[in-house]
Amino acid sequence: QVQLEESGPGLVKPSETLSLTCTVSGGSISPYYWSWIRQPPGRGLEWIGFISYSGSVTYNPSLQNRVTISVDTSKNRFSLNLRSVTAADTAIYYCARGAQPKISGWFDPWGQGTLVTVSS
Amino acid sequence: DIEMTQSPDSLAVSLGERATINCRSSQSLFYNSNNKDYFAWYQQKPGQPPKLLISWASTRESGVPDRFSGSGSGTDFTLTISSLQAEDVAVYYCQQYYSNPWTFGRGTKVEIK
């Protein structure tokens, strides 16, 4: 059974870069799509972007100027970089897999999530 | 962006009774080419990530109890819990995957009356 686990700093200073990694166990990166989704505390869900098993990316236009998602298939993991963060980027960050091979859009399974706080 | 509007924001239902959650999209999620609605429902319990319940508007995921059902097409969708159980207390989200950016509703909180 595939499991996802997010890792990275829980505290980031304003204007710096938020960096997270999602490690995939129990399955392969290929041939799925892999997403980052965030949830501000007590609020709803915002899709950030995805990367395919072949490395092609699609980002939410609202964040695309600040976001980079990359994949390391040799280590079965993918990563998120979000630049120039502000307090508005404080959220639980989830990684998630596309629910079916070779198609993006809906998500299953999800990682447990990691809270990232932006504060000086 | 496609806006997803859920209603109600919250509802309280007695154990064993029916719970109904609605979601409306700002544009049709139906693709004529494959006769599918690009729409999903998730359940999120406190302290947990969302769990996929239903995709393609009405296809229940493996392992999801059959008291959960999805219906609707185009712009109007419904999640029905036919007989509410204590373990169904959660926030439920709808999501469209018709076009980028994929967007979610704001959630509906289901509680026991």
Of B52, B93, B103, the CB nearest to A108: B52
Q: What is the pLDDT of residue A103?
A: 84
Give percent of chain A with pLDDT exceeding 90. Answer: 88
| pLDDT tens-digit readout, B16-30 | 999 999 999 999 999
Neighbours of A62 (CB within 10 A): 13
Q: What is the pLDDT of residue B34?
A: 93
* Average pLDDT, integer, range B32-58: 97
Structure tokens at A28: 């392969």
Q: What is the pLDDT of residue A101?
A: 87
Is B50–A105 a contact, with Cβ atoms under 8 angstroms apart? no
List CB contacts of B82: < 8 A, sequence separation 6 or more: B18, B67, B68, B69
Is A45–B100 a contact, with Cβ atoms under 8 angstroms apart? no
**Contacts for A69-76: CB closer than 8 Å, 24+ residues apart:** A69/A34, A69/A36, A71/A29, A71/A34, A73/A29, A73/A30, A75/A23, A76/A23, A76/A24, A76/A25, A76/A28, A76/A29
Residue A115: phi, psi to the nearest 5? -80, 125
Those residues of chain A that have pLDDT short of 70 are: none
Q: Which residue do the tokens 């989200």 mark?
A: B93
| pLDDT tens-digit readout, A33-63 | 999 999 998 899 999 999 998 899 999 999 9
